[in-house]
Amino acid sequence: MVTPIDIQVTNKVVTAIAEEMGIVLQKAAMSSNIKERRDFSCALFDSSGNMLSQAAHIPVHLGAMPMTVKALKTVIDLGPGDVVITNDPFKGGTHLPDITLMSGVFAEGASRPLFYLLTRAHHADVGGMAPGSMALTRRLVDEGVLIEPALLKKGGEQCTSLIQTILKGVRNPEERKGDLQAQLASLARGEERLKELMRKEGLKTLYERVNPLLDYGERVMKSLISSIPDGEYAFEDFLDDDGIGNSPVPLRCRLIIDGSTAVVDYTESADQVESGLNTVKSVTASATYYVFFCMIGSDYPINGGSLRPITVKTRPGSLLDAQYPAPVAAGNVETSQRIVDTLLGALAKAVPELVPAASCGTMNNIAIGGTRPDGTTFTYYETIGGGMGASKGHPGLSGVHTHMTNTLNTPIEALEQSYPFMVELYSLRNGSGGKGLYPGGDGVVRRYKFLQAATVSLLTERRRLAPYGLEGGESGKKGANLFIDAERGTVSQLPGKGIVEVKGGDAIEIRTPGGGGWGARLDTQPLK
């Protein structure tokens, strides 16, 4: 008989394995994006492809990695010592910079995996038209190298020809190679720890706990959904634009709560757009699951069972279920944030006391690349924090990464040590949070001064449409991107999305949005 204690202990152990895989990846990586910002995720799956645990890393990978496992299982039969690699957004991926490695864990003499291990990391460059592979494009091929599922290791031996082919298509190949080796080290540690667990607990005992663990996750999620009043709740929000035209792009959510199940229907959202603001369905699912996990609170199981009570509906060929070969780089980082805002807006109509106002609603992506005087290339990518939306009883936090990013700040010292630019200003953007009974958090100001010519790609949102407040709270302030021309001594406003060529001495200043306020201020409430 599997007891609740057995289930909880197993949950903690498999989660700890995923966390340790992440520690190994972070420590071994070469790029600041993985080492400093921790833009990666690690997870464990059973033999059927059900997620047993994902470390608390990147929310946008939450619903995507289970889809990746199921897609890869259909095209490649993993043997002992095999590792498969892919970054295909249309096979459970997210966007091209997120490269996934998957391996199997086998019993002695077995030919089929008992468990699967995954590590997904955002590489600072995978080729494409601009350094950092995060430029606004109209074609998937311009976003970088598409890696179809293939064996990176076969029977324990690395496939050097495949590695060489991948590295030919990227900038700064030595850094890319180092990050891939770090991902392999992460998988090796996960396999080591999982085999230790199998020896300690016994394979039969361990596998007897798998289904009860998944069922536990399902019960927790059903309990949460049951606490939401039955009904249908709708909300509409917008992207500023698609980066090509000037018209807002609508996202529409219809949430249906029926007992302990939830249906989240996005089928009325906009059609697929020309630019990379499209998302694949795996990203849409990830953003949806993330919102429900936030409502559960801390110390909950993150596994495939938790996802069973939630149905995500999309329309193929739409903004939230783009079809190959649509570009999708910005959808993973920007549209995913708006999916969260849209679903939270619908939930606010059902349980207003539990739902926060909109946070900054953008990852404020900046990618920088060029060639150093010694002829070596460099690429750099980061996201910038903003203001968190306030909620009942809680003002929003200031200067933090919110929702689908969950990455860390890149320390200025680490940045300036490795790249030919400096951070001239980094501060809170005072007064940018929305006013309210509980005010929204403030955004930040981050100014980059370039020591030599470089190419800069910007993917930002909430530059035209402000993050909403709730229950009488005011909206947060919109963000802004500024270009400071050293030669002319002028300051001009940049669009939210685009590529900028800078010279030595120029600067770019990013002012990120504040979060929305919650509740009307006492001094604005009418006297009774």
Domain ranges of the chain: 4-208, 219-354, 356-528
Residue 413 is inside which H or E element, if any?
helix 412-418
Cα torsion angle, 182, 187, 188, 194, sign: positive
User: Which segments of 202-350 does DSSP mark as H helices, in order?
Assistant: 203-208, 210-226, 281-296, 304-307, 329-330, 336-350
Strands 261-265 and 310-313, by their bridges, are parallel
Alpha-carbon distance 422 to 419, whole Å? 8
| Per-residue b or e along 260-294, where b marks 16 or more CB atoms closer than 10 Å to that residue's CB | bebebbbeebbebbbbbbbbbbbbbbbbbbbbbbe
Strands 98-105 and 115-122, by their bridges, are antiparallel
Q: Name the pTM for this structure.
A: 0.95
Q: What is the DSSP letter of 388?
A: P
Alpha-carbon distance 138 to 244, whole Å? 9
| The predicted structure's pLDDT at residue 405 | 84
Q: Tens digit of pLDDT for each residue in 345-389?
A: 999 999 999 999 999 999 999 999 999 989 999 999 999 999 999
| The predicted structure's pLDDT at residue 64 | 86
| The predicted structure's pLDDT at residue 525 | 62
Residues of the chain with pLDDT under 50: none
Q: Tens digit of pLDDT for each residue in 437-461?
A: 999 999 999 999 999 999 999 999 9
Q: Which residues are CB-contacts of 495 (< 8 A; sequence separation ≥ 6)?
A: 243, 458, 463, 481
**Is-contact 151 165, C-beta < 8 A?**
no
**Overall residue count recorded for the chain in this entry:** 528
In this structure, how many other beta carbons lie within 10 angstroms of the beta carbon of residue 108? 8
Rg (C-alpha) for the chain, rounded Å, is 23
Q: How would you list the strands of the sheet with 261-265, edge to edge?
A: 231-239, 249-258, 261-265, 310-313
| The predicted structure's pLDDT at residue 526 | 58
**Is-contact 388 359, C-beta < 8 A?**
yes
HSE-up of residue 218 (Cα within 13 Å, Cβ side): 13
Q: Which residues are CB-contacts of 299 (< 8 A; sequence separation ≥ 6)?
A: none
Q: What residues pair up with 101 in beta bridges, in sequence order?
A: 85, 119
